[in-house]
Structure 1
Amino acid sequence: MSTTMSTLTSLMGLQLFTRLFTFILNQALSRLASPVAYGIASIQFELMLSTILFLSREGVRGALLRVKPTGEASENVKSSEKDHKETEQKSFGNAAMNVGFIPVIFGVPLAIITSLLYVTFASAETLSGFNLRFSSCHGIISGANAQQVCMCQFHIGCERILFCFYRAMSSLKTHVRLRAEGVGITAKTLATRGDKGGNLPLLAFALGQFMYGSSVFLVYLREFQGAGLITRIAKSSSGFLRVYFDRDVLELSMWMTSQSLVKHVLTEGDKFVLSWFSPLQDQGGYALAVNYGSLIARIVFQPIEETLRLYFSKTLAEQNVRVIYLRSTTLHPHFQHYSEMQIIGSLFVLIFGSSYISLVLNILLPPQYLNTSAPRVLEAWIWYIPVLAVNGGLEAFIASVALRKDVNNQSRWMILFTLTRPLSMQTSSNLSARIIYALHFCQTFFANHDASQMLRWRNVLPPWTLVSGLVISALAVNLGETVFGATEIVQREGRTGIVRRPVLLHIALGGVLAISCMGWWAWTAREFLPVPRRWNKVKSA
């Protein structure tokens, strides 16, 4: 449990560091670039990049996490049998890890094809949005797409090296990842900020992405010194796949990749629709709102999801009924506490985020974005975060234990549910459908393994005392807004209004209430939360 919490803490620190850097970078970009240029960069370029990376590596990522680490042969086994066993295990490990190289084989051609399609079918408004000092907009788009190809190859290479060491060492090298991300974000910031005049925003964005991918890849390559490269296995009569790749892991990665395609299309459906039908100015406002709104989700909830996926993959990798039952006794309290953390974090976002979002928008958003769709999208995003958090934790469990038929059933369920909803509601309804299926899957899974009594959903609900405190805090904050009128002051006076006494008092009120509620929850959950070792030493002394 302490190892799992240490991993969670490290991942949260990593996300906090990278997202704060990214937030500062986005603040600079949004002030340098127009909403049109920002929309092209953050909606169309980012959508293309995420599509390439998601389809190339997501299925392989999930499959490799479920590969059981190879162990050593038993002491009482004969020497010849032991050598044969170790050779067999090493071959299996190499064959399984070699599957991680497949995203590079297919990812680079996919990136090239996607880039050519984007250049071919880009709208006239998009081409006219490139207000740059070059004679041909087509050349700039091609250069940016070439950068996407390099970024894809670098990023997949980094993932390849990481996966090998995750399985070989059975631990997360979070300090290496932190250093790599730090160097990458710094390089991206410097490269993007090189366009101080804001005359070449799209070229600056492409160069920043290229520098980020190159820097991260070089840090990983220096740390692991090529250990993630493909390993040749002794030839056999079974053919190429048996020589280089483990068939079971390869098939599992193909199943999960097919589901990733469905998930990506349904999850990113709003961006696909925006890029085709929405004006570029609204695309810029939407992109800025999503970048701001996803900060909390990525800093707090994404590390929890990654930790749950790693923990479930290691704990429930076997499908034996007896093993599942025995391990469920250990799994149950951890699953309960992590789920409770997600729900409580969502409540804090709803209570305090919805109360202060209007005030924050008038402080953070550049003036040219206040008349776009950004304010409305951010206000709606507050209510979207809790659904996103709950879905992430549940799908981490499914990705760790689901069989082929389960993956296919989930894909069919998502498609069917999407077809019955209007286009404007597909993103939220999609997540709702995935949550419903995940709840049913979890209940069925534990019931089939004689452990249904350990899965009681009411145990993940937050304590009523904390809920009461949050409700009282919401009432107090709304009353404070009525008394102080902080939002009206900032709307009238701009950012200078933040130093006014009523605004400071309103912010202080929310801060004190949030810290008080968080402190109360930490005290009630003190048996679960990790305590630093130096504190334990002082306490025992």
Structure 2
Amino acid sequence: MPASPTSTSSSALSASLSLVVLQVVSRLFSFALNQLLLRSTSPHAFGVATIQLDTLIATVLFFVREGLRGAVARAGTGDDKTKAEAAALRRQTLLIPTLLTPAALLACAGFYAFSSPSTSAAPPPPQWSSTILLYSLSVLIELVSEPLYLETLAAWQTLTTKRVKVEGFAIFVKAVATLAAVRFVVPDESDALLAFGIGQLAYSLTIWIGLYRITRNLGSSSSPSWRMILPRRQTPSGRYFDQAILETGWALTKQSVIKQLLTEGDKLAVGKFGSEAEMGGYAVALNYGSLIARVVFQPLEESSRLYFSSLAAAAASSSSTTDAIRDTKTPSAASSSSDDPLPAPPPLSALAPCASYLRLVLLLQTHLALIFTLLAPSFTTPLLHLLLGPKWSRTSTAPLILRAYAYSLPFMGMNGITEAFFQAVASPRWIQRGAAWMVLCAGAFAATCWVAVQVGGMGAKGLIVANCVNMGLRTAFSTYFMVRYFSNALARADPIAPRGDAKEEESHRRRDQISAIRHILNWRQWTPSLLTLSTFFLGGYACRRSETRWTARVMRPAAALSRWDEVAESARHLGLGAGVGLLCLVSIALSHRREILLVLERRRATTHAKQE
């Protein structure tokens, strides 16, 4: 039996919270280790490993497995009474990423044959071949373990927290292994690139072992079988794989090709056209700037995609009844929908909690946008100065890139949530339209890159501007789909003309539900209040004034302050930021005090009911 909408929404919220908490803990450990790593390795090695090699492995794995992940999340675990043939087809479908391992390794070999760490005629860095071999071995291990990962996606309500614990521990192991290799294995700093390959291999091994431990006791008949790695034709259908999962996965994969190129476009551009020094500065800026994306945006986007995918299952279970009602009410709507096929909407009982969840995450994103645009840019340079010293804050491009990256975070957050909804519920026809729109986004990204970098001379900052244009266009398309989806769902859920007291009461109830959903999705419900906006704008002005004072006293060579005086000035500046942040939180709490009190009352009632 499928989970109820309320329990599914609660699972999504709890999954989001657990994902964020686990990411914070794991990232704090890896962040501390990365500080030691940055001080122990050269900017050249760090830039090549972060910009080129990490992009290589992320792109190869993304193309091979990302589409199937989305399709499996939509399909779920299936009915316990699934026939033997369907279970076998699903089991063999989970093995597809493993079967594609030769293609992934061929891509790694092609990268080694045709790429170079820079555009100069200089030879590749030391240990280049050995590092590529370690990264290729890491790809092999991750694709072998991918069927286990897909099994955790199918049972996301129970296994998400365990899987994220494994991933968090793997990130920690990667940082420890890389640092240990730099200190004890690599003979010279010039060979530091090899340490990153060792760390990546340790990460993949940890993922494999951890996924095996959390899936070995599932006992599901649909789990992948390692005794039969080659798929066999199933009778009576004569198929090798689950057709529905395969079609959805292929549609998502085609869209993902351009999406991944756009996502990694800035790194690809820096790796191809940037110097080694620029790669190092850009890598450091991304290492700090993407911390928020990895800690907050990534788990929120992942749990949201899993929750929204449950809408597809709810829609499938009620589509026949909904279509019958729609056809008796508005025959023209049925014919028009064939020309513009939106996915079948779920029942109102599932649509209402979905709208509430969507409003909640959009409200969070709009408030985070105020933090990233009005407060965070004033603290990028002081934080780099404290963490990495004057070498990075005064002589590299990292502070300017990190400031620009802070302005791009709102685009990243909104794009992640809206695309999570689109990829979770869109029909194959709409996924094809999304792929076509991605081509337009790619053209806009390339054009903006040329204007900002070549004409405007903005350098790496121009790449971030181009990425914002790209994400803005993608968000616009996903938002357009969301509006169409909910408009269609509410129109098809409009109650039939009442006939009798019972039907009239049901009609009024459905109209009340529709009105409530429309109210929830109104833009005023997920945007900051006037009090919050005023507080953030005034706080941002105060932070800018404080940053100007800090720059005049610390960053100018004529200042020549002692290290202790620099720390004291930075502490004053950061203290002001903490006070402003506290005032902004108070303004948010005052603006949403009724909702907060209602949530607290519900929680107290739930706790009291459990005690009884």
Determine if the TM-score, normalized by the shorter chain, exceeds 0.5.
yes
Deviation of the 1:16 alpha carbon: 1.1
Match of 1:279 in 2: 275
Match of 2:478 in 1: 438
Whether 1:396 aligns to 2:420 is yes
Distance 1:109 1:338 in 2: 38
Distance 1:530 1:5 in 2: 16
Does the 8 Å contact 1:266/1:426 carry over to 2?
no
Match of 2:396 in 1: 372
Deviation of the 1:467 alpha carbon: 1.8
Match of 2:237 in 1: 238
Deviation of the 1:531 alpha carbon: 9.0
Match of 1:42 in 2: 50
Rate the CA distance shift 1:131–1:263 in 2: closer, same or farther, 3 A.
closer
Q: TM-score, normalised by structure 1?
A: 0.86
Does the 8 Å contact 1:466/1:517 carry over to 2?
yes
Rate the CA distance shift 1:105–1:458 in 2: closer, same or farther, 3 A.
same
What SS does the corresponding residue of 2:490 show, helix, strand or coil? coil
Which structure 2 residues correspond to residues 327-406 of structure 1 after superposition, within 5 A?
327-370=350-393, 371-406=395-430
Distance 2:305 2:388 in 1: 35
Distance 1:301 1:179 in 2: 19
Match of 1:516 in 2: 583
Deviation of the 1:367 alpha carbon: 4.0
| Higher relative contact order structure (alpha carbons within 8 Å, sequence separation ≥ 6) | 1
Does the 8 Å contact 2:258/2:442 carry over to 1?
no
Note the aligned Cα RMSD (angstroms). Answer: 3.0
Rate the CA distance shift 1:229–1:71 in 2: closer, same or farther, 3 A.
closer
Identity across the alignment (%): 27
Which structure 2 residues correspond to residues 388-427 of structure 1 after superposition, within 5 A?
388-420=412-444, 421-423=447-449, 424=452, 425-427=465-467
Match of 1:135 in 2: none
Does the 8 Å contact 1:489/1:503 carry over to 2?
no
Distance 1:459 1:413 in 2: 29
Q: Which amino acid aligns with 1:260?
A: S
Does the 8 Å contact 1:35/1:285 carry over to 2?
yes
What SS does the corresponding residue of 1:238 show, helix, strand or coil? coil
Rate the CA distance shift 1:442–1:290 in 2: closer, same or farther, 3 A.
same
Gaps of 5+ in 1: 73-85, 133-139
Distance 1:58 1:35 in 2: 31
Deviation of the 1:337 alpha carbon: 1.0
Match of 1:506 in 2: 573
Rate the CA distance shift 1:176–1:168 in 2: closer, same or farther, 3 A.
closer
Rate the CA distance shift 1:353–1:45 in 2: closer, same or farther, 3 A.
same
Q: Which amino acid aligns with 1:63?
A: A
What does the per-residue CA deviation read over 1:52-72, in whole Å, with 9 as the maximum and x for residues that have no partner? 111111111111110043235
Does the 8 Å contact 2:119/2:273 carry over to 1?
no
Does the 8 Å contact 1:64/1:97 carry over to 2?
no
Does the 8 Å contact 2:362/2:526 carry over to 1?
yes
Which structure 2 residues correspond to residues 100-111 of structure 1 after superposition, within 5 A?
100-111=94-105
Rate the CA distance shift 1:535–1:355 in 2: closer, same or farther, 3 A.
farther
How many pairs are equivalent? Answer: 514
Deviation of the 1:119 alpha carbon: 3.5
What does the per-residue CA deviation read over 1:141-178, in whole Å, with 9 as the maximum and x for residues that have no partner? 23222222222233334442132144247423413531
Distance 2:538 2:155 in 1: 50
Match of 2:256 in 1: 260
Distance 1:297 1:273 in 2: 21
Whether 1:55 aligns to 2:52 is no
Distance 1:104 1:45 in 2: 21
Gaps of 5+ in 2: 1-8, 324-344, 453-464, 492-513
Distance 1:431 1:401 in 2: 20
Mean Cα displacement is larger for which, 444-453 or 351-360? 444-453
Rate the CA distance shift 1:2–1:419 in 2: closer, same or farther, 3 A.
closer
Match of 1:297 in 2: 293
What does the per-residue CA deviation read over 1:95-120, in whole Å, with 9 as the maximum and x for residues that have no partner? 23532321122134323332343244
Does the 8 Å contact 1:35/1:369 carry over to 2?
no
